[in-house]
């Protein structure tokens, strides 16, 4: 790996400024949505007393989960010593921080009392996994920030492996924590499972890598830097493994539930007769998010094309959003039983019926704003830091790895 | 600190004898009671801490003594002015607002807490007061219905 | 100037009565007054009491929802933007057995669990349980994350979805915070010994009382006829018990 040089981008071209402006429009829309939601209250959204977490949470959790996964490339280089990925570590770490910032922004701006963020930082209930997550998120910023420093500054480079290992362990704990937000909920049949924690770790691997690959393609292409097939093929194979692993966890989760009679209701709701949730599960998560990407990355013919690999990454992201929508919103839509399974219910408060939810434009604007914020941060970081190697063609990277 | 200086400079602004004016010239309502729970200069400095402390005691331990209870503050300090009008929280003539607006310290107590005394008198006031919520943001920005002056005129006549 | 200012005298007046009452209580340790109303205003609540409700579904008359309207009136809950977002602290749930066709209705509200999931999950500690078993939301530190609503097995909690005005002085409520049945804590603290729903029920199907006091009517009736908890499988040990089905 000789003559590896990292450079920042000029960031003065109309295309670059246009890109920032494009993200800026989404940020503006998200700000309008936030102000309106905060001013009017949450009644203007699709969320209500039955579906208490809605579209903003799908976006937020997707971004937060993807954040820790985006760090994978750096971890593989520093922790597992794969030199091939080393040149991409900086981008990986910056993307991780940016995605987390975007996700947290959405989460925080959706709060009923977003003005009380300081309360969330000063009052802690240590039995709450949510409170632990706040600590884990803040710690992630700190640790990945330090890690990035060890990569950017040759004087502290010797600590890169320590920092990388710490960041790797931290991100595993972080995603375990995020999965446990749902796993620790005893009340709802879709949650209440320890399996959700490792499942979220695997989800993070696949979402994060998919986003990383797209950002990498765009960054190399738009700045005219060569990107060899060697590293791309390794990453696409890795993506295939993660997608398959996601499917495995999902299969185990549903098979376990299918074995328990008391969970037959929720399972038939998700798998058979849940309307939009069933559609999203089979078409979104399984077909778009699992089967098609696997075909694209493993079939010999399409997997040779950059476009097919990029498409696979896009499909993984879409399937991932569908997956989280089913977990988060489908899990709430299915009614909670008050008494043993023999009884059925009705009330003025939607007991015993599937709760309705249609996301409002405000929620979608806020969610897309989080995505835009993440990408804006990455684009801006490319200008101020030297994150990208000049050249990543095969002859340069293959000499040592 | 700003609050402290400001309140010290205002030593003679209000006693319990009659209507007084704050630094902005707004009439401060005359309290019902004869004596505040603390001397005037002390309560001006310490009321945030007193209220915060009491808030936690009441909320978590069910201690409902009258001392430093926000409800009691309202019962005593929210009274009609000479024209019989009772200002709502946020309006210049409201007891808390008169100072808080001057020092630009935002109050969110009355987003939840009633700004009316809990007496039968308060019930009557509550019923006759205008209901200003529920208007969509855009409407409110376009019209001036949120303008305190507009509200007070509407209320007098 | 004398150190004994009028303010000190005033403060003493505020506290005076209650000090005597406190002394009266401590004179007889172990023997507690049946009329728990005696808790003075300046004495913290304690785990000597555990407030709860006993609901007899046999008495709960079909189609009646007087407890619901009484709760709304007492706590100032008003219809706002429709049933999906309006808060409901208590609701009537109609239940039917799928196998036998047996039907009944019951009021469901916050069950005031001994081990409340809402308290476990709350990141700031805004959701908390008082020493006397009443589960409340400290709205001052509630950030409106709604995790407690996700965690509650009884759907007992509501978010305030819009700006409110003219709240009851004893029941502050506001936009962006989560709320639920307080077991009429203001009435309990005042010594009313009942709740708005219990008072309003024409059939006396709702009984308020102290589960820790073996002599209380609620304890005696539970001892005699038993009672069941909603979602007893979760082991939350609810303060609201049901009889009749």
pLDDT per position as a tens digit, C97-117: 999 999 999 999 999 999 999
Whether C63 contacts chain A with CB within 8 A: no
Q: Phi/psi at B25 (nearest 5 deg)?
A: 85, 5
**What are the sequence ranges of the domains in chain C?**
6-38, 51-243
Among chain B residues, CA nearest to A115? B108
**Which residue has better confidence, A285 or C3?**
A285
For the cut 90, the answer to whether the pLDDT of residue C19 exceeds it is no
Instruction: Reply yes or no on whether the pLDDT at C29 is more than 80.
Output: no
Per-residue DSSP letter, C79? -
Query: Which residue in A373, A377, A383, A376 sits closest to A94, CA to CA?
Result: A377
- A187 pLDDT more than 80: yes
Phi/psi at C108 (5° precision): -125, 130
Does an H or E element contain A267, and which?
A: helix A264-268
Among A37, A46, A104, A116, most C C-beta atoms within 10 A, so best to mutate, is: A116
Please tell me the least confidently modeled range out of A292-301, B69-78, B139-148, C236-245: B139-148
For chain A, counts of helices (H) and of strands (E): 16, 3
Q: Could you tell me the end-to-end alpha-carbon distance of chain C, in angstroms, rounded to an integer?
A: 71
Tell me if chain B has a CB within 8 Å of the CB of C187.
no
> Residue B131's pLDDT is what?
40
Q: Is A32 on the interface with B (CB under 8 A)?
A: no
Mean of the pLDDT values across residues B98-111? Answer: 88
- Phi and psi at C226, nearest 5°, equal 75, 175
Q: Return the structure tokens found at C25.
A: 């209580």
Chains that touch C (3 or more CB pairs under 8 A): A, B
Tell which wins on pLDDT, B122 or A247.
A247
Taking contacts as CB-CB distances below 8 angstroms, the residues of chain A near C88 are 49, 348-349
Q: What is the CA radius of gyration of chain C?
A: 20
Proportion of chain C in helix, strand, coil states, percent, rounded to 5: 30, 20, 55
Report whether A60 contacts A373 (CB < 8 A). no
Q: Is the pLDDT of residue C22 over 50?
A: no
Query: Phi, psi at residue C243, to the nearest 5°?
Result: -130, 150
Q: How many CB atoms lie within 10 A of CB B128?
A: 8
Work out the pLDDT band at C39, boundaries 50, 70, 90. Answer: confident
The pLDDT score that the predictor gives to residue B87 is 87
- In terms of Cα–Cα distance, which of B49, B25, B151 is closest to B99? B25
Contacts of C136 (CB under 8 A, 6+ apart): B59, C127, C128, C129, C130, C182, C185
Identify the pLDDT of residue A397.
Answer: 67
- Chain A residues whose beta carbon lies within 8 Å of the beta carbon of residue B108: 115
Ordered DSSP codes for A153-184: -GGGGGGHHHHHHHHHHHHHHHHHHHHHHHHT
Predicted confidence at residue B156, as pLDDT, reads 33
| Sign of the alpha-carbon torsion through C182, C188, C192, C194 | positive
Q: Which residues pair with A388 in a beta bridge?
A: A7
Minimum distance, in Å, between the CA of residue B137 and any CA atom of chain A: 7
Compute the mean pLDDT over every residue in chain C, rounded to the nearest whole number. 88
Using a CB-CB distance cutoff of 8 angstroms, which residues of chain A are in contact with residue B109?
Answer: none
Whole-number pLDDT of residue B23? 63
Q: Which of A70-84, A384-398, C57-71 has the lowest mean pLDDT?
A: A384-398
Q: C186 Cβ partners below 8 Å, 6+ apart?
A: C170, C171
- Kindly identify which residue of chain A lies nearest to residue C128, measuring between CA atoms: A125
Residue C7's pLDDT is 53
pLDDT band at residue B145, thresholds of 50, 70 and 90?
very low
Q: Which two tokens stand for residue B120?
A: 């039968």
Residue of C91, C145, C153 lying closest to A336 (CB–CB)? C153
For the domain covering C51-243, report its CATH number. Answer: 3.30.70.20
The two structure tokens encoding residue C211: 């589960």
Is B137's Cβ below 8 Å from some Cβ in C? no
B54 CB-near residues (< 8 Å, 6+ apart): B63, B67, B68, B69, B70
- According to the model, what pLDDT value does residue C88 have? 94
What is the distance between the alpha carbons of residues A10 and A4, in angstroms, rounded to a whole number? 19
DSSP string for B54-94: HHHHHHHH----STT-HHHHHHHH----TTS--PPTTSTTS
| B30 CB-side CA count, 13 A | 12
Q: Does A347 touch chain C (CB under 8 A)?
A: yes
CA angle (A248 as vertex; A247, A252 as ends), nearest 5: 115
* Contacting subunits of A (3+ beta carbon pairs below 8 A): B, C
Who among A41, A50, A134 is closest to C162 (CB)?
A41
What percentage of residues in chain B have a pLDDT greater than 90? 29
Question: pLDDT (tens digit, 9 = 90+) per residue, B108-131?
Answer: 899 999 998 876 444 444 444 444
Which chain B residues are Cβ-neighbours of C131 within 8 angstroms?
61
Q: Give me the residue spans of the domains in chain B.
A: 2-131
Question: Helix, strand, or coil here: A345?
Answer: strand
The proportion of chain A whose per-residue pLDDT surpasses 90, expressed as a percent, equals 92
What domains sit in chain A, N to C, each tagged with a CATH number?
9-397 (1.20.1630.10)
What is d(CA C125, CA B90) in angstroms, rounded to the nearest whole number? 30
Is the minimum CB–CB distance between C78 and chain B shorter than 8 Å? no
Sheet with C90-97, strands from edge to edge, namely A343-347, C90-97, C103-109
A344 membership: H or E segment, kind and range: strand A343-347
Contacts of B132 in chain C (CB under 8 A): 165
Measured from the Cβ of residue C33, the count of other Cβ atoms closer than 10 Å reads 12
With contacts defined as CB-CB under 8 Å, which chain C residues touch B36?
Answer: 7
User: What's the mean pLDDT in A315-320?
Assistant: 98
CB A230 within 8 A of CB A82: no
CB contacts < 8 A (A, B): 5
Look up residue B96 and give its two tokens: 């808390």
ipTM, two decimals, is 0.93
User: Which chain B residues are closer than 8 Å to A40 by Cβ?
Assistant: 136-137
Whether A112 and chain B come into contact, CB under 8 Å, resolves to no
Count chain A–chain C contacts defined by CB atoms under 8 A.
177
CA-closest candidate to residue C148, choices C126, C178, C125, C118: C118
């Amino acid at each position: 790996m000789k003559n590896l040089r990292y450079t920042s981008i000029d960031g003065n071209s109309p295309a670059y400024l246009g890109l920032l402006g494009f993200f800026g429009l989404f940020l503006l829309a998200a700000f309008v949505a936030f102000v309106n939601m905060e001013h009017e209250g949450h009644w203007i959204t699709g969320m209500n007393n039955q579906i208490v977490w809605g579209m903003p949470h799908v976006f937020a959790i997707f971004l937060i989960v993807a954040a820790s996964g985006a760090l994978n490339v750096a971890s593989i280089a520093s922790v597992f010593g794969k030199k091939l990925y080393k040149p991409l570590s900086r981008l990986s770490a910056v993307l991780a921080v940016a995605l987390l910032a975007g996700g947290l922004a959405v989460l925080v701006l959706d709060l009923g009392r977003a003005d009380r963020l300081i309360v969330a930082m000063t009052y802690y209930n240590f039995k709450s996994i949510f409170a632990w997550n706040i600590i884990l998120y803040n710690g992630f910023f700190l640790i990945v920030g330090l890690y990035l420093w060890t990569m950017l500054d040759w004087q502290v480079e010797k600590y890169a492996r320590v920092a990388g290992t710490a960041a790797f362990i931290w991100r595993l704990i972080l995603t375990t924590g995020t999965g446990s937000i749902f796993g620790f909920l005893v009340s709802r049949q879709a949650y209440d499972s320890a399996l959700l924690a490792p499942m979220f770790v695997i989800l993070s691997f696949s979402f994060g890598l998919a986003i990383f690959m797209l950002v990498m393609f765009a960054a190399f292409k738009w700045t005219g830097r060569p990107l060899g097939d060697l590293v791309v093929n390794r990453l696409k194979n890795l993506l295939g493994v993660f997608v398959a692993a996601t499917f495995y966890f999902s299969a185990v989760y549903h098979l376990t539930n299918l074995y328990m009679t008391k969970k037959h209701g929720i399972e038939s709701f998700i798998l058979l007769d849940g309307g939009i949730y069933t559609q999203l599960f089979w078409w979104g998560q399984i077909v778009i998010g699992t089967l098609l990407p696997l075909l694209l990355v493993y079939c010999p013919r399409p997997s040779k094309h950059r476009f097919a690999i990029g498409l696979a990454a896009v499909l993984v992201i879409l399937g991932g959003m569908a997956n989280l929508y089913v977990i988060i919103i489908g899990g709430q839509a299915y009614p909670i039983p008050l008494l043993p399974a023999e009884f059925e219910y009705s009330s003025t408060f939607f007991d015993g019926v599937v709760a309705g939810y249609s996301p409002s434009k405000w929620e979608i604007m806020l969610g897309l704003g989080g995505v835009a914020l993440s990408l804006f941060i990455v684009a801006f970081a490319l200008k101020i830091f030297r994150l990208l190697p000049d050249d990543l063609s095969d002859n340069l990277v293959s000499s040592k790895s | 600190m700003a609050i402290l200086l400001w309140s010290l400079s205002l030593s003679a602004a209000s006693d319990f004898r009659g209507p007084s004016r704050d630094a902005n010239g707004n009439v401060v309502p005359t309290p019902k009671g004869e004596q505040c729970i603390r001397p005037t200069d002390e309560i001006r400095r310490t009321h945030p801490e007193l209220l915060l402390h009491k808030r936690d005691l009441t909320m978590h331990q069910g201690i409902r003594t009258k001392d430093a209870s926000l409800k009691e503050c309202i019962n005593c300090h929210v009274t009609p002015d000479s024209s019989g009008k009772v200002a709502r929280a946020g309006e210049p003539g409201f007891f808390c607002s008169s100072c808080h607006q001057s020092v630009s310290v935002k109050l969110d107590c009355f987003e939840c807490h009633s700004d009316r005394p809990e007496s039968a008198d308060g019930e009557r006031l509550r019923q006759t007061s205008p209901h200003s919520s529920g208007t969509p943001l855009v409407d409110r920005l376009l019209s001036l219905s949120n303008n305190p002056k507009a509200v007070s005129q509407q209320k007098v006549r | 100037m004398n150190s004994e200012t009028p303010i000190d005298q005033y403060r003493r007046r505020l506290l005076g009565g209650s000090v005597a009452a406190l002394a009266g209580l401590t004179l007889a340790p172990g023997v507690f007054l049946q009329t728990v109303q005696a808790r003075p205003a300046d004495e913290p609540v304690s785990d000597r009491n555990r407030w709860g409700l006993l609901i007899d579904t046999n008495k709960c008359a079909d189609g009646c929802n007087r407890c619901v309207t009484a709760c709304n009136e007492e706590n100032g809950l008003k219809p706002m933007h429709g049933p999906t977002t309006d808060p409901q602290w208590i609701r009537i749930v109609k239940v039917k057995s799928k196998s036998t066709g047996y039907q009944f209705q019951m009021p469901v509200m916050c069950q005031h669990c001994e081990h409340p999931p809402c308290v476990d999950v709350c990141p700031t500690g805004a959701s908390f349980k008082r020493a006397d078993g009443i589960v409340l939301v400290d709205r001052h530190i509630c950030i409106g994350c709604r995790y407690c609503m996700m965690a509650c097995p009884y759907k007992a909690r509501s978010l305030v979805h819009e700006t409110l005005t003219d709240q009851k002085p004893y029941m502050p409520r506001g936009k962006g915070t989560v709320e639920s049945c307080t077991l009429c804590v203001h009435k309990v603290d005042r010594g009313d010994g009942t709740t708005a729903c219990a008072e309003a029920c024409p059939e006396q199907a709702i009984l308020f009382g102290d589960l820790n006091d073996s002599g209380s009517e609620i304890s005696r009736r539970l001892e005699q006829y038993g009672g069941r908890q909603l979602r007893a499988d979760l082991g939350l040990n609810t303060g609201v018990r049901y009889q009749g089905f």
